[in-house]
Structure formats: C-alpha cells, structure tokens
Structure 1
Amino acid sequence: MSKGCVHAKSEDDIDVFYKKTISYCYHNHNLNFHVSQTLFSSQDVDIGTRRLLSNLTSEDYTYSKVLDLGCGYGVIGISLKSVNPEGTVHMVDRDSLALDYTRKNLELNHFEASVYASLGYDRVSDADFDLIVSNIPAKIGKPVLSYLLTAARLHLKPNGRVAIVVIDAIADYITGVISDLGVNILIQKKYPGHMVFVYEFSEGSSTKRPIHESFEKYIYNREEKLFTVDHHSLSILTAYGLPEFDTLSYETQMVIESLKITKCKQENKAVVFNPTQGILPVVLTQFVTVKEIALVDRDLLALEVSKRNLILNGFEKDRISLHHQADLKIINTGNINCIIGVFDEKDGQAVHARLFNQAAQQLSPEGVIVVASGSTPITRIEAIAHADKSLEILGRKKAKGKSVIVLRKKSRF
C-alpha cells in the first residue's frame, strides 16, 4: 500500500446506529460519548446517572475495582475510570449494542476496561469488587430488582459498597428490600424523581456463590401463557423485562399470518431476529420442519428466553444457535432458507437498510424473508427489494399503521 492512499469505507465500516456525540465533565475530566438513537439516554447523560456519580467520589474513599452493572454506553464506568486510571473497571450489560458503544467510548476517551455481556451477575466471576454501581431500570420486575440488590454481596470484597440510583416509581420497593437486607446504609438521598442509595453489607454476610445462575433459577420468570395459533396451543414461559408477555404484537401476528403464504414445508436453516419471548421461533418450528434455527437479538435475555421456549415446545437444544448482536450478519451459517422477524421502528432508515441487505445476502436461492414493522420502514424495504433483481416480492399487507412483506430469492437472476 502506497503511503498517503485513502480508501473508502466499506458498508460494514459505517456505523448506521450512530446518532451523535455528547460531552460530560466529571471532576474536571472532560469526557465524550458516542450514542445511538435506541440506547437509553441518547439525548444527553441521564440526570439520574449524574446524581449517582455526584455521590461516589470523595477524598476519603477511592474505588480500585468497580463493576458497572447495566453499563449502557459506558458513562458511569468511564467516569469512575477517569478519576482513577489505575483502577480496574468491569462493564456489563445484556444489550449488545450498549456493549459495542461502551467499547467505542472507552477507545474514544483513551481508557481500557473489561466489557462483556451478562444477565445481572451471571457471567461475572470476580468476587472482589469494592464498588458495584448501577442506574437500575424500573421495568425489570420485582424479583429481578431484589436479586440485583441482594446478590451484590457475592461479588464484593469485605466493606465493599453498592451504589444505585432508581426512579421514584420503585423507590419505596427498593427501600424495603434494602432495609430487609440488614445492610449499613451510607447514603440515602432523595432528589426530584430519583433516589440514590449507597450501602455496604455487614460483616459476617454470606459469601457463598450460588450453584445456578439467576436465569437458571427462574428469577426472570413472569408466568406461563398459552397462545393459540391455527388451533395449535403453544406454551410460552414469559419473562420480566420483555414485551409480548400477555398478548402478541400486531407485527408478530402479521409475520405468523404471512408464513402461510410462503408454503414452506421444510427448511434446512432458519433465522429469527428480535424474537422477544420466543413466540415467532416456536410458531415457525411448529408449522415447518426446521433442521437448525439461529436466534439473533441484541438483548441477551430475549435470546435465552426464546431458546428456553423452543426447548419447552420440543425443539432440540443442540439445533439452536444464539447470536448476541445488533445486526444480521451471521458467520458460518451454511445455507439459510428462511429469515423472519420484526424491525424496530425506532431504528433509522440506514439501520433497516443494513439489516435487510444483510438478510438478503445470506439467503439461499428460493429462500424466504418475512419482515414486519411500521408501514414507513416496510415501504423503504419494498423499494430496496424492487431495485434488487435477485428478490421477488410475494406479498405485502398493511393494517393499523403496520406492514409485513414477504420476499423470495430467485434461483436465477
């Protein structure tokens, strides 16, 4: 390569999820954060996060090893790293896009940390943190909230601390849980709309690690629901923190109805993206003989719940692969005959185009794509499909502001 050559970026190099870069000053350290539209607090650093951080750094206490639980795009962990660059920081989240942006923001601010996916503490093996910190979401279910507060002791060194911020809607419940733990509450500060807690477990607290991870202990379980599809009764064990726990979304219903016109009888390999509670993959395997199924979602909980529901409905676990990612580019899949799912309307036009193109490129001849979303995104997908001579549009349906489109890849074009 000659010196000074400039090469155009490939399509995969362009970050279609990027929204903007925001700035934040923490203890005189100027930090910058790339953000995506669909990540929490993409307009600016959340006020709850700011309030939590304002209570964490003092001259008489320095955190040398920190666990940022539910790190989002990395504000808390990176801020704490900025005041103690020699310290160790672990940053975990169940959202793969959040983890991608955390890694980008560490590089942007010239820091290093351990970044990895985890449902709560499930993949956190260290037990010597001196701070576990989290801006805890409200809509994850009371059993999960209780678990996050209680199980922290299993990952703290003696006199280690837990620091959290919660919104008013769950503040009373959180107060009750913390009071029942018998901990030493160091800070309990109320703000308009938020409450911050900092506490430490008393000496003699149990440090025995659990035999099973939280997901295996059914902490995320909501209830078992029976869904009837074409006279088939499907048992779905729903989870807190995911949609479609009581009724099917209109987009999911449209995908299910559209599967009938594809006339698929047998598929070598199928891909289901954004499966939420797992209803779509379960329906697919009940109606079509599928040899292998790949589940793709940026939410680790959705992947685990969907896998469990496939197994509960008779699909062999060895024939299921999980792909924790925000896009649809899958490596070493073999021939994919069927790709179905729902595009998030909150994603932008560039994201939808990227996902659709990735799906089309990986589809085998005569393979089928069924995708639902809002009518505007599907209209854009239809335009892309018309321009792609390798695809044939089998049908499109519109109703209630939603749409579904069914396409087949031509054997010759």
Structure 2
Amino acid sequence: MEHYYVEKPQCKLRVKRVIFELKNGRKYIFDTPSGVFSFGAIDKATKILIEHALIKGKKVLDLGCGYGVIGIVLKGEYPDLEVYMSDINERAVEFSKVNAKNNNVEVHIKKGAFFEPWGDEIFDVILLNPPIVAGKQVVLRMISEAKEHLNPGGLFEVVAYHNKGGSYIKKAMQEIFGNVQDLYKEGGIRIYLSRKE
C-alpha cells in the first residue's frame, strides 16, 4: 500500500468532507483526499498541536501541511499571522488551496520537500506533525534544517506519539537546538518545543 509521503499519489482520488470544531466552538470545513495523510478524519496529534501550539511573532510555517488543517485553522484563529504551508505531495497542496478558499483564509502554499520551496525564508514559528512513515532520515533532515529557517528566539514545535518515534525526535531536537522541552502531553502524544538561541 502506498503511503502519503510521495510527490504524486497513484491511488484513485476519493474525497471525504470533515468538520473540525475547536474547543471555542468555531468550525472549519476540510475536504480530505485519499493519498494524503489522515484521509477522512483529522488525527488526534494534529488537533493537539492546533489547540496547544505556542504562537509568537508574525511568520508561521506549517511544514508538511497535508490538506492544510494546522495552517488554515491558525490563520483563522490568528488573522494577523502570515501563514506559510508546504508539502511534497501535489494532492495535499491542491487540497490545501481548496480548503483555504473554503475557509476564507489567505495563506501561502507551495509544493516541495523539506524547506526547498522557501529558499532562505526565515520564520518565527515552525510547526511539524512529522511524516513518520517516510522514515527516520526524512524526519531528522526536517529537524536539522528547521534551525536554519528560524529567527533568533524562534520556536520549532513537533507533535508525535512518544513511543512511535517521538523519543528519537526529542533527542535530535536537543542535539540540534541545544534545548528541548515537553510543551504539552496527552496520553502518548507530546508536543516537543525547541527554541533557536
């Protein structure tokens, strides 16, 4: 079976619409395509990152955005943010654009792997729900390149299941940034936070 960390999904396109409701009662509508992470339902780790991310500054990157949940909801909740979103998967990018329009938010969306779409762009916050299925080397490269794309004092926040890759992610963040903390824990899910010093 094909996983979602590919440029061009080969599976037949199917679309399921889901409604995401925040704790504050606001609702967002997402068309979720097959061949993209979390088809047909928004995963728990994504919901946790949206509800508990630490947002500061102006420019936020949703790295590996899938069909756009994190970036779109954050733009909806914090209209003054400049939100940037990218994914390697062309179907993810296409549906991020559809979902941004459907939720009446203006965000910057590009296709590409890692930080390639952004050149030497620098951000205040980078958020990542990592593509664990793509393998350890892909995730570690995302972590190592994140530091180069943060302003001084910028925040890198990663959500993961601690016993399904999270422990090596936390260790890598400590090695690369020189600091890491658990920003939030719920069940087996953690948000790890590193600050660029």
TM range (shorter): 0.7 to 0.9
d(CA) in 2 for partners of 1:108 and 1:133?
A: 22
The structural deviation recorded for 1:40 is 1.5
Q: Which runs of 5+ in 2 are unaligned?
A: 1-11
Query: How many residue pairs were aligned?
Result: 184
Q: Is residue 151 of structure 2 the alignment partner of residue 157 of structure 1? A: yes
Q: Is residue 158 of structure 2 the alignment partner of residue 170 of structure 1? A: no
Cα pair distance change 1:131/1:28, threshold 3 Å? farther
Partner in structure 1 of residue 3 of structure 2? none
Partner in structure 1 of residue 90 of structure 2? 96
Q: Is residue 91 of structure 2 the alignment partner of residue 133 of structure 1? A: no
* Residue type at the aligned position of 1:135: N
Q: 1:196 pairs with 176, 191, 197, which one?
A: 191
d(CA) in 2 for partners of 1:183 and 1:44?
A: 35
Q: Is residue 137 of structure 2 the alignment partner of residue 143 of structure 1? A: yes
Q: Which runs of 5+ in 1 are unaligned?
A: 1-15, 203-413
d(CA) in 1 for partners of 2:148 and 2:70?
A: 21
Determine helix, strand or coil for the equivalent of 1:67: strand
Partner in structure 1 of residue 51 of structure 2? 54
* Residue type at the aligned position of 2:98: K
d(CA) in 2 for partners of 1:69 and 1:136?
A: 8
Cα pair distance change 1:160/1:94, threshold 3 Å? same
Q: Is residue 33 of structure 2 the alignment partner of residue 36 of structure 1? A: yes
d(CA) in 1 for partners of 2:47 and 2:57?
A: 18
Instruction: State the Cα deviation string for residues 341-360 of structure 1 (Å, max 9, x = none).
Output: xxxxxxxxxxxxxxxxxxxx
For the Cα contact (< 8 Å) 1:64–1:84, is it kept in 2? Answer: no
For the Cα contact (< 8 Å) 1:131–1:162, is it kept in 2? Answer: yes
* Residue type at the aligned position of 1:194: I
Partner in structure 2 of residue 83 of structure 1? 77
Cα pair distance change 1:62/1:175, threshold 3 Å? closer
Q: 2:179 pairs with 177, 184, 208, which one?
A: 184
Q: 1:45 pairs with 21, 42, 47, which one?
A: 42
The structural deviation recorded for 1:139 is 2.3
Partner in structure 2 of residue 71 of structure 1? 65
* Residue type at the aligned position of 1:169: K
d(CA) in 2 for partners of 1:121 and 1:150?
A: 11
d(CA) in 1 for partners of 2:190 and 2:168?
A: 12
Instruction: State the Cα deviation string for residues 91-128 of structure 1 (Å, max 9, x = none).
Output: 10010001110000000001111111111112212432
d(CA) in 1 for partners of 2:177 and 2:59?
A: 24
Q: Which moved more, 1:181-190 or 1:125-134?
A: 181-190
d(CA) in 2 for partners of 1:142 and 1:18?
A: 29
Instruction: State the Cα deviation string for residues 212-234 of structure 1 (Å, max 9, x = none).
Output: xxxxxxxxxxxxxxxxxxxxxxx
* Residue type at the aligned position of 2:187: P
Partner in structure 2 of residue 238 of structure 1? none
The structural deviation recorded for 1:55 is 1.5
Q: 2:15 pairs with 10, 19, 31, which one?
A: 19
d(CA) in 2 for partners of 1:19 and 1:144?
A: 27
Written as runs of structure 1 = structure 2, the 5 A alignment for 1:233-382 is: none
d(CA) in 1 for partners of 2:106 and 2:92?
A: 16
Question: TM-score, normalization: structure 2?
Answer: 0.84
d(CA) in 2 for partners of 1:174 and 1:32?
A: 31
Greater relative contact order structure (CA < 8 Å, 6+ sep): 2
For the Cα contact (< 8 Å) 1:18–1:34, is it kept in 2? Answer: no
Instruction: State the Cα deviation string for residues 232-259 of structure 1 (Å, max 9, x = none).
Output: xxxxxxxxxxxxxxxxxxxxxxxxxxxx
* Residue type at the aligned position of 2:85: M
Bigger-Rg structure (1/2): 1
Q: Identity over aligned residues, as a percent?
A: 28
Question: TM-score, normalization: structure 1?
Answer: 0.42
Determine helix, strand or coil for the equivalent of 2:20: strand
Partner in structure 1 of residue 5 of structure 2? none
For the Cα contact (< 8 Å) 1:91–1:113, is it kept in 2? Answer: yes
Instruction: State the Cα deviation string for residues 333-378 of structure 1 (Å, max 9, x = none).
Output: xxxxxxxxxxxxxxxxxxxxxxxxxxxxxxxxxxxxxxxxxxxxxx
For the Cα contact (< 8 Å) 2:177–2:195, is it kept in 1? Answer: no
